[in-house]
Amino acid sequence: MPLLAMGAEYSAAPYFGDHCRLVANNVTEVKIQGAGHWIVQEKTDQVLKGLEDFFEK
């Protein structure tokens, strides 16, 4: 099953993809540039693009 690992540049992104690969093998990483903890509020456009790209596959 595909898994989307979406994390903020200044929060979880540096390790989130590797962490998810401990339990999944079909992981797509999306790093939200310039965001901290609240990715949807801080970088809505990047989050929407990441979701659209993931679900279009």
Mean pLDDT of 29-47: 97
Type of residue found at 8 = A
Mean pLDDT of 30-56: 97
Q: Is the pLDDT of residue 23 over 90?
A: yes
The torsion angles phi and psi of 41, rounded to 5 degrees, stand at: -75, -35
Bridge partner list, 7: 31
Could you tell me the residue range of the domain that residue 25 belongs to? 3-56
Q: Is the pLDDT of residue 57 over 90?
A: no
Closest to 53 in 3D by CA, of 35, 30, 33: 30
Type of residue found at 29 = E
* Number of domains within the chain: 1
